Amino acid sequence: MLGGSYQNGKNQVSPPSGLSCVSHEALGRGAGLDPSKLPEQPGQLSNLSLASRIGGKLQKKEVLSAVEKYENYHVAYGGEEEERKANYTDLVNKYYDLATSFYEFGWGESFHNAPRWKGETIRESIKRHQHFLALQLGLKPGQKVLDVGCGIGGPLREISRFTLTSVTGVNNNDYQISRGKELNRAAGILEKTCNFVKADFMKMPFPDNSFDAVYGIEATCHAPDAYGCYKEIYRVLKPGQYFAAYEWCMTDSFNPNNREHQQIKADIEIGDGLPDIRTTGRCLEALKQAGFELIWENDMALDSPLPWYLPMDKNHFSLTSFPATSVGRFVTRSMVRTLEFVGLAPKGSLRVQIFLQQAADGLVEGGRRGIFTPMYFFLARKPLSEDR
């Protein structure tokens, strides 16, 4: 869902911290040019196309008010956890309308973190992370699989190609679904192989026992209630089959009475569209209450030879991650401010970029202190008989 940079071939692209690579030439060419008509590679937004897409399906004039309403859900602006949970659909939709283009610009098609080996590119680590999950599920050609909270479909396309399965992605955001379908067409993928359904994963429009496997990659953290989410996944999964997920969690080292810990948690919540962040223990409890048998679980962040948060660390200097450094962030803010001023980006874009940077700082500090993980993995099975 959020993290560092990714590798595009041999060239590393910056984290989703804003329009960090917009050139003066691009700004000059912007006068009178429709950015939506510019050619772009699948999963790679051009600078001007990025500017035009900020806000997703929102009208340009609606972006600023959406930013203000989104901010008001959160602690720093007087918001309450219960209000975020009660309005989670609006909260999450506004977040992804505002943030998706930044994500795609910086990450490509897959919006999630991954443990990384030395010498391994970030793109390679992301694919390996997806393949690992598919192997744990034991996916076989021809099976019908559900991706819960699928984003613009990067993981579902990769997993479908890797396993020769048919993957359905559930997403409640109109813009992400339309973008996912665009990318499917660009990749020549048939709808019967990879398709999207607009739905709330708390109440999915599928019959009982519909899928051979279900997975979620850094997505079900948006659910206001883990038990309700897992119970709905349990309902649509066939008996005897498996559910696997990478969850965003506070670890056992998190102290809810520690103000610094509270601030880190709040920074991650506002920067990532979360009503709350559950502990690993609460996730496991909800999983078992929903009826699943736990096969195994592990915090994959603990096994990563390179810190998963390294590409977002502003104190870690490298030429490839320059936009994430303090100086790079200053340049980014100046550029986004310029884009707003000349009208290429809607008003409010700078505020989106700022809370994404706030999230990056929270993620780095949470990872460094060991109080947060974006990759708490579990594999669970729905029993053959519901009479346990």
- Quickly list H helices, the chain: 24-29, 47-53, 63-72, 81-86, 88-107, 122-137, 154-163, 174-187, 226-236, 259-272, 280-289, 326-342, 349-369
Place of tokens 């601030």: 263
Which one, of 342, 339, 127, 113, lies nearest residue 246 by Cα?
Answer: 113
Spell out the residues 6+ positions from residue 103 whose beta carbon is closer than 8 angstroms to its own.
Answer: 2, 16, 111
The domain tally of the chain equals: 1
Spell out the residues 6+ positions from residue 318 whose beta carbon is closer than 8 angstroms to its own.
Answer: none
Whether 132 is covered by a domain: the verdict is yes
Which amino acid type is present at position 91? L
Whether 36 is covered by a domain: the verdict is no
Whether 166 is covered by a domain: the verdict is yes
Give dist(CA 62, CA 156) in Å, integer.
31
**pLDDT at position 29:** 32
Q: Which residue ranges of the chain lie beneath pLDDT 50? A: 3-43
Whether 153 is covered by a domain: the verdict is yes
Whether 339 is covered by a domain: the verdict is yes
**pLDDT at position 3:** 43
The continuous run of DSSP H or E covering 373 comes out as: strand 372-381
The CATH number assigned to the domain holding 166 equals 3.40.50.150
Average pLDDT of the residues of the chain: 84
Give dist(CA 350, CA 76) in Å, integer.
18
**pLDDT at position 300:** 97
**pLDDT at position 280:** 97
Give dist(CA 284, CA 282) in Å, integer.
5
pLDDT digits (tens, 9 = 90+) for 244-262: 999 999 999 999 999 999 9
Which amino acid type is present at position 219? A
**pLDDT at position 339:** 77
**pLDDT at position 9:** 35
Which amino acid type is present at position 380? A
**pLDDT at position 98:** 86
Buried/exposed code over 148-174 (b: 16+ C-beta within 10 A; e: otherwise): bbbbbbbbbbbbbeebebbbbbbbbbe
**pLDDT at position 324:** 58
Which one, of 245, 313, 346, 285, lies nearest residue 3 by Cα?
Answer: 313
CA dihedral 105, 111, 116, 121 (to 10 degrees): -30
- pTM equals 0.85
Whether 24 is covered by a domain: the verdict is no
120 is in which domain, residue-wise? 65-382
Whether 35 is covered by a domain: the verdict is no
**pLDDT at position 14:** 37
- Strands of the 372-381 sheet, one edge to the other: 194-198, 166-171, 144-148, 211-217, 237-250, 372-381, 293-299
pLDDT digits (tens, 9 = 90+) for 324-360: 566 666 777 777 788 788 887 888 888 888 888 888 8
Whether 11 is covered by a domain: the verdict is no
